[in-house]
Structure 1
Amino acid sequence: MTNIKDAKCVLVIGATAGIGRALALAIHDLDSKPTVIAAGRRQERLDELAAKSGDSRIKTVQVDINTTYDKLKQFVDDLTGRYPDVDAVVLSSGIQHIFDFEKPESIDVNKIADEFNTNYVAIVNLILLFLPHFLKLNAAGRPSFIIPITSSLAIVPRPTVPNYCATKAALHSFSLSLRAQLAHTNVRVVEILPPLVESELHDHQGTTPALSIFWMPLDQFIKLTIEGLVRGDPEVVVGMAAAVLQRYEKGKREAVEQIYVRGDPAFPPS
């Protein structure tokens, strides 16, 4: 079974902080020694990350994925032209806002749109844009990897961040279907579902002090996640996320694959 160690060049989108940054460094440290392309909005963070690696196997590229399809296409075309060996993409970009629908006048609809575009629409567009390149690699005998990062909140939402949870639920559902559709290719879809993890994601909300009592330390999460990626798990879930998935979605992935790949007559196509 193929796993992340088979990747030669890994693009990590959202590598300027939190899970994305830590994963970029951890993948760089694999004994298979892949090239890592760290991508994100803040160039100074990217420069710091490249310097921390201590060698030339971490490249950087600045990108804001909350943009138009045409600009994303230009980004993917430029990147695959510059790095034709890129065979894995980790999709870690994400934003989160608190919304109180009991006070509808307080809700900024632009933030709802930005959150949905960044966390879901842009991710789906990037996957669509990378797939021709990955399928071309497959035709040459090379595996490739699409690694979306969703959340345990995709399974059981936290009502204070309803739109964030909805975006992650959408991406989780999409990942299940995408994996089934690509089952006959050598494009591996590996979904990472974190629990509450140490992150800067909550700083702007003022909730970090309260959440830090409960969250999983980032280094512990990354260690367990890398172990899952190296095992070749189709869904990498650790900590409380594993318990949530087991309780509420046991057998769901297998059912989706059975419906699409084998054609289960109990679930005829609509």
Structure 2
Amino acid sequence: MPSIKDSKCILIIGSTAGLGRALALSILALPSKPTVIVCGRRQERLDELVEAHGTDGRLKGFKLDVLADRASLKASVADVVQQYPGLDAVMFMSGIQHEYDFTEPESVDLDKVVDELNTNYLSVINMITFFLPHLIKVGKAGQPSFIYTVTSGLAVVPGPWVPNYCATKAALHSLSLTLNAQLKDQNVHVVEILPPLVESELHDHQGKREVLSKIWMPLDEFTALTMQELKSNDVQIPIGSSAKDYETFETGKLDAVNKLYEGRKAATQRK
């Protein structure tokens, strides 16, 4: 299977800070010299990033808010495809995380629940649907195309303190498995990254940065490990402590999904 080394133009949604920013700059540094489009809702961060690292013209910026309505998301996808017709890969990095205590149900902020669901899952499935006509066309023309989803080790073994976050990542994990099965014959390759707890702004609003900093994986280490795996032909990439849970609970699942899908196709064709 092709890998990120074969990508010529990649859009990274949610790449103005944290994991997304670090991966964007590492991908930009690949010897294959791809065009990297950093994407986020804060124009000033996009401008700063491109100004600091885009001296050779391969780093571009594109403003997009994943919480925009469906019509706006569709229009943004159309705009980026029009501006960058060579786009062959999209990586979805955006994510938010909130803690909820259902032993005190009156404390659960359902508006935050909805925002978390929209950011971590619904916006992703919407944008994947809007990008796929272009990516399938690219794949059929002979250039491998890629969808990179970023879930979490918590998609495999949920952390009860962030129940909705885990549910959204589990949904994206399941979607990644099924899209992998459906799209593999279209030369569209679906790759899922499953990070552990990583140094990130994701946790700043929780007021627990000092505590978590004692146990999380440093961002530089995560980035190096992830880039190493992205250069391989693996379609699921559990990093650090996520790898142990993945091995325990997920071994063989992708093969089972593909077998189920192929069996269903064969049965349908016989009718």
Contact in 2 for aligned 1:37/1:58 (Cα 8 Å): yes
The residue type paired with residue 4 of structure 1 is I
Q: CA separation in 1, counterparts of 2:218 and 2:233?
A: 23
Contact in 1 for aligned 2:199/2:216 (Cα 8 Å): yes
Contact in 2 for aligned 1:258/1:264 (Cα 8 Å): no
Contact in 2 for aligned 1:7/1:87 (Cα 8 Å): yes
Contact in 1 for aligned 2:19/2:200 (Cα 8 Å): yes
Matches within 5 A, 1:20-99: 20-53=20-53, 54-99=55-100
Look up the match of 1:251.
252
State the 1:67 CA deviation: 1.9
1:142 aligned onto 2:143? yes
Q: CA separation in 2, counterparts of 1:161 and 1:116?
A: 12
Range with bigger deviation, 244-253 or 45-54: 45-54
Q: CA separation in 2, counterparts of 1:57 and 1:183?
A: 29
State the 1:52 CA deviation: 2.6
Range with bigger deviation, 74-83 or 96-105: 96-105
Look up the match of 1:268.
none
SS in 2 for 1:129: helix
SS in 2 for 1:190: strand
Look up the match of 2:211.
210
Q: CA separation in 1, counterparts of 2:156 and 2:70?
A: 28
Figure out how many residues of one structure are paired with residues of the other and give that number.
265
User: TM-score by structure 2 length?
Assistant: 0.95
Do the aligned partners of residues 242 and 82 (structure 1) sit closer, same or farther apart at CA in structure 2, a change above 3 Å counting?
A: same
State the 1:196 CA deviation: 0.6
Structure 1 gap segments, 5+ residues each: 266-270
Q: CA separation in 2, counterparts of 1:44 and 1:73?
A: 23
Look up the match of 1:229.
230
Q: CA separation in 2, counterparts of 1:264 and 1:238?
A: 33
Identity %: 55
SS in 1 for 2:245: helix
Structure 2 gap segments, 5+ residues each: 267-271
Instruction: Please identify runs of 4+ aligned residues in structure 1 that moved more than 2 A.
Output: 261-265
